[in-house]
Amino acid sequence: MMKRLWPALLCCAALTARPALGDAAAAGPATQPSKFIRFVQAAGGGELDTADVAFSNGHGVTVHLVAAVHIAESSYYAKLSRSFEDDDAVLYEMIKDRDAAPPAGAGAGEQSDNIISRIQVLLKNSLDLDFQLDDIDYTKSNFVHADLDKETFEKMESDRGESLWTLMIQQAVKQWADAPKDQTPDMDQEMSQLVTLLCRPDGTRQFKLLIARDMDQLDMDAAGLGGPDGSVILTERNKAAMRALDASLAAGKKNIAIFFGAAHMPDMAERLAARGFLPVHTDWRMAWDLTIRPDQPSVIENILNGMIDSAGK
């Protein structure tokens, strides 16, 4: 169950220091994907992709839902950065202190004391990937913070009696209740398989494959976050993003990107539809390259090197 919960934690968790319109014009057949993240199996491994879905309305405005994963190949973030150069506004997610400056990339994300960010940094080191906050420059003039600030986020969670951990427990209970009752895991066998995976020469790729296959179900997992009343970590943050979108539209912006984790996007798409936007085009970007690479270090080697680096700081 925890293995199934981890992708939602990774992609939807907070990052810390992290006017109604008219009818849409005819836009042809809708191309909105049924999911915003996918695992593609291929000879030699495959890849994990995220979607960039363009929506338009009858006023010549285009809004891109740019789904993201928070650890990925450096080339993935480089391509995202280039694509943002053509946008009038990039509305981004980040739960940070109200007065904190946005990170400028180049390792800025490494200094966060947020537990989720620390876990993500550990994973990126173990899986030979990059961290989003290290590679994206959020100080660009067209970048607009479109998330809850840390103080508001924590108050809203406290008022609801909600936390990331309570949501994970709810998901775990749901996973357990939905699982076939005749399937009892063999813990000794699973631990043995994990040890084998971690120690084999292509263990990093195998570990990424394991996680990527689960992340393919991210949209389904995220749909249950918070139940029918939604949640702070997803629903309320999406409302904040829509308020920032409405402000950008009122300011006359015509080409807008909403840059949030993939788990946020199904709900975002519904909110765009309510504002008169229709999906017109989808691009997929490779976030994880899962093909075999020569001389790739094992997961254990990466972890040990990371511990050595940490001990020296």
* pLDDT by 10-residue block (mean), the chain, 313 residues: 47 36 38 80 87 95 95 95 97 92 70 60 76 92 97 92 67 58 62 69 75 74 62 92 98 98 92 95 93 67 70 64
Indicate the residue type of 218.
L
Instruction: Report the distance separating Cα 178 and Cα 163, nearest Å.
Output: 23
Domain assignment of residue 184, yes or no: no
Residue 140: the pLDDT is 96
Domain assignment of residue 57, yes or no: yes
Closest to 153 in 3D by CA, of 98, 100, 103, 105: 98
Domain assignment of residue 186, yes or no: no
Domain assignment of residue 187, yes or no: no
- Give the domain extent around 93: 2-179+192-311
Residue-wise pLDDT tens digits, 275-292: 999 999 999 999 999 887
Q: Give the other-Cβ count within 10 Å of 121's Cβ.
A: 19
Closest to 144 in 3D by CA, of 78, 99, 88, 61: 88
DSSP helix/strand/coil, 49: strand
Q: What phi, psi does 59 have (nearest 5°)?
A: -115, 15
Closest to 263 in 3D by CA, of 114, 51, 41, 61: 51
Residue-wise pLDDT tens digits, 99-147: 999 888 766 554 555 556 666 667 777 778 898 988 999 999 999 999 9
Residue 28: the pLDDT is 41
Domain assignment of residue 139, yes or no: yes
| DSSP type of residue 102 | P
pTM as predicted: 0.79
Number of domains comprising the chain: 1
Domain assignment of residue 237, yes or no: yes
Domain assignment of residue 185, yes or no: no
Q: Which residues pair with 71 in a beta bridge?
A: 131
Residue 215: the pLDDT is 79
Whose tokens are 């840059």? That residue is 259
Residue 224: the pLDDT is 56
